[in-house]
Structures are given as C-alpha cells and as structure tokens.
C-alpha cells in the first residue's frame, strides 16, 4: 500500500492518552459486568419527541434533497438573532455558517485561520479532540498550561508568552473538562492577548446554556474582538441532539464566505430536515433548553452537598457544563491510578485528568450523566474509596 499522508497519520499525535480506563470500562460492559459510566459528555435523556416530530414532518414534506451549503436562511437568521440577543453584537445571517456539529466547526475554523505549520494555541486541560483538530488542519498545536490553584484559568503572563508568533488561540467556556466558567478578567486578558499579538480567537461555546454559577461571556462582545473571533456553537449539548450533528460558526462575513468554500468541498452542507428540526428547537425557546440543563443543575447541587461533607476529595466549583473536576491527590495516586482502582474495585468509570493534558494530573473528571440516585450513590462511593486509600497511604 502507498504511504498515507503525514497529515492524516499525524492527527493522533501518538503516546498514551489516558483513555485506557474508558476502553477497559467498555470491555467490562461487553463482558456483562455492570459498570456505572461517568465518562463521556452525553445526556442520559434522548432528543425530545417534539424535535423528532419536527424532523419527521420536514423529511415527509420533502426536505430530503441537497440543502443549500451555508445553511437554510431560516436557521441562519434564528442563530444570528439568538447571538445578537445574547451578546449585543450585531449579527446577521452573513455571519453564520451551519455545520454538521461543533466538531466540524472546530476543524473548519482552524483551516480558515492557520496556514500549514502555523502555531495554534489551546488551553490545557482541554477537550480531547483539540490537538488532533489543529494537526488535521496542518497547524502545530501549542498548549497553554494552567494550574489547579488558579481553577485552571489561563493566566495573562502565560497567554502573552505563548502567543508570540502564534496564529490562533482556542478557548472553551463553560469548560470541558473543568466545569469552570471564565470570569470577566480572564476574558479581558484573552482579548488583550489576541489583539496584542494579532491572533484569531476561536471560542468554543457549545456549553453556553449550561451555566450554574456566574454568567457566560462571549469574547466576541469584547472591544475590537468581533473582527477576529470565530464562535463555535452546537445543538448537541443545549438540546440533547448529539446524534443529529448540527452546529454553527459565527464569524466576520468575509470569513464565512471562505468557510462556505471549504464546506462546499467537504461536507456539502447539513441535511435540511435536521436544520428544520433545529429551527423548531430554537423557536421552542429557553424553557426547553432549561429542561435539558435541569438534571445537571440538580446533580451539581447533589455533588456540592456530598463533597462538602468530606475533606479527602478536593474540587474546584463546577460553574457550568456537565462535569466535575475532582482533586484526588490526597490519596497518593495520580488520576489514572485512581480511575483504574475505582473501576476494578467499585465498577465506577471516570476519566483520569491525564486524558485532558498535563495540567489536570492528579485529578479525575466525573460526568454527571446518570440518574440522580445512581449519581449520588456513585459519588459517595468514590469519596469513601478515596478516604480508604488516604488512610492506607
């Protein structure tokens, strides 16, 4: 067989990525062992029946042919209105490209902002696909590390030092995996860095409807930022539509024009009946989004209560998204060792902090994606297990 391209063979970057425990949990389940999975970011509910009905009706009405590549005018308008209302930044359909999910948006944004070999920045700990998306686009990923003591927020001096010679900066708030919502001073420092170093800012806001504390701020609304910011949005988390693959990029109109060229030559758009269902879901208003966020809001309150009654497992307050980042360093184990032991002894699967880079070493990420009782029971077991380990250490 001829050699594959460096671009595709290099996407994964090689090395251990800390996902072994996830695959081991899946293998145990395949062997019939009951494992509680608190691993990946997917709701324990399915897409609402009303959204599926809208999808069915659109398909039956014939919206099954090629859809117009940038997205249907109705959906682009609805997203532009939503973004204008939430951020105060004037936004029209010309600022919006519909994409098959946020992930396709992340890749397309880096294709638009980086030449081959350019440095693309991202913040560690990070969502699993970030370095691969950057490498896939031909750019070179450079991590900005953070510290648990700073709630994993990127610090101004670290941003400034990393930015020299870079082309783009990717941020994510509300954050996966930490659950942190970036405050105004962090956002101001990010904006300052982007302007000082003439960077594109790629802002992953797919969890913007899941905020438990504080306020979601979009950096596109900061002074001088709309002209250099590409916002990644998605219906996956806000409307439990992970399998429908529908998201968007909001960016300056000339950027969207070029992104339409890319979409024409890659995805060729998003199915019309999915777009019609997404429009229906957005028009259903905030109550539907709130109902989808509510289970995580409840479980986050349960977790705060359980964690406050012990002192072995530390945590930074989860202010948004569907995750808790727990500090298990008092047990003497690293995240991977703890996650493996918890899986073996209690059949509870969590993600080691090491699977999100180097900054969250000694931590684990817990996804709040099982029913309330199972969640509370599992978290209590996890804390007791940590206490046992600490006592034995």
Binding site for ligand PMP (CB under 6 A): 41, 101-103, 127, 172, 176, 204, 206, 234, 236, 242, 247
> Which CB, 179 or 362, lies closer to ligand PMP?
179
Count of CB atoms within 10 A of residue 58's CB?
Answer: 20
Reduce the secondary structure of 374-387 to three states and give it as a string.
HHHHHHHHHHHHHH
The CB-of-101 to ligand PMP minimum distance in angstroms stands at 3
Q: Least distance to ligand PMP from the beta carbon of 102, Å? A: 3
- The residue (of 70 and 105) whose beta carbon lies closer to ligand PMP is 105
Q: How far is the CB of 356 from ligand PMP (least distance, A)?
A: 11
Using the minimum distance from each CB to ligand PMP, give the nearer residue, 168 or 176.
Answer: 176
Peptide bond into 162 cis (omega under 30): no
Angstrom distance (rounded) from CA 311 to CA 350: 20
Least Cβ distance, residue 324 to ligand PMP (angstroms):
15
Give, for 299, the enclosing helix (H) or strand (E): helix 286-308
Q: Which is nearer to ligand PMP, 122 or 385 (CB)?
A: 122
Nearest of 324, 331, 330, 329 to residue 307 by alpha carbon: 324
Instruction: State the minimum distance, in angstroms, from the CB of residue 345 to ligand PMP.
Output: 28
Q: Which is nearer to ligand PMP, 207 or 385 (CB)?
A: 207
Closest CB to ligand PMP among residues 82, 197: 82
Residue 247: CB minimum distance to ligand PMP, A: 4
CB of 353 to ligand PMP, least distance (A): 16
Task: With CA atoms as reference, report the closest residue to 117 among 141, 100, 96, 93.
Answer: 141
Please state whether the peptide bond connecting residue 127 to the residue before it is cis, i.e. omega within 30 degrees of 0: no
Q: Residue written as tokens 């904006």?
A: 191
| Nearby residues of 221 by Cβ (< 8 Å), 6 or more positions away | 87, 88, 89
Nearest of 204, 62, 197 to residue 128 by alpha carbon: 204
Q: Choose between 21 and 278: whose C-beta lies nearer to ligand PMP.
A: 278
Q: Record the tokens describing residue 167, joined without a space.
A: 């082309």
Chain residue at closest Cβ approach to ligand PMP = 102
């Amino acid at each position: 067989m001829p050699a594959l391209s460096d671009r595709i063979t290099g996407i994964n970057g090689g090395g251990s990525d800390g996902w072994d425990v996830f695959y081991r949990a899946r293998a145990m389940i395949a062997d019939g062992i009951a494992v509680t999975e608190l691993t990946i970011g997917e709701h324990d509910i399915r897409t609402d029946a009303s959204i599926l009905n809208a999808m069915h009706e659109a398909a039956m009405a014939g919206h099954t042919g090629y859809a117009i590549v940038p997205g249907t005018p109705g959906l682009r308008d609805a997203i532009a209105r939503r973004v204008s209302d939430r951020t105060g930044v004037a936004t029209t359909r010309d600022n919006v490209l519909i994409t098959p999910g946020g992930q396709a948006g992340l890749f397309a944004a880096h294709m638009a902002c980086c030449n081959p070999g350019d440095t693309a920045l991202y913040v560690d700990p990070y969502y699993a696909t970030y370095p691969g998306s950057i490498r896939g686009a031909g750019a070179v990923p450079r991590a900005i590390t953070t510290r648990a003591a700073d709630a994993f927020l990127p610090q101004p001096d670290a941003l400034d030092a990393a930015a020299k010679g870079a082309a783009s900066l990717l941020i994510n708030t509300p954050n996966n995996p930490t659950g942190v919502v970036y405050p105004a001073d962090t956002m101001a420092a990010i904006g300052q860095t982007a302007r000082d170093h003439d960077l594109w800012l790629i802002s992953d806001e797919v969890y913007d409807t899941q905020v438990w504390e504080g306020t979601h701020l979009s950096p596109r609304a900061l002074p001088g930022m709309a002209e250099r910011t590409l916002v990644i949005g998605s219906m996956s988390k806000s409307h439990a539509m992970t399998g429908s693959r529908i998201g968007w990029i909001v960016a300056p109109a000339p950027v969207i024009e070029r992104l339409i060229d890319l979409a024409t030559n890659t995805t060729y758009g998003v199915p019309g009946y999915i777009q019609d269902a997404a429009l229906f879901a957005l028009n259903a208003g905030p109550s539907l989004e709130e109902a989808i966020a509510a289970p995580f809001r409840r479980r986050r309150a349960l977790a705060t209560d359980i964690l406050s009654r012990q002192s072995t497992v530390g945590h930074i307050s989860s202010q948004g998204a569907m995750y808790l980042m727990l500090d298990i360093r008092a047990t003497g184990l690293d995240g991977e060792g703890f996650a493996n032991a918890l899986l073996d002894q209690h059949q509870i699967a969590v993600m080691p902090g090491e699977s999100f880079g180097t900054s969250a070493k000694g931590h684990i990420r817990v996804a709040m994606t099982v029913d309330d009782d199972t969640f509370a029971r599992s978290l209590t077991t996890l804390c007791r297990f940590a206490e046992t380990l600490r006592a034995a250490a």
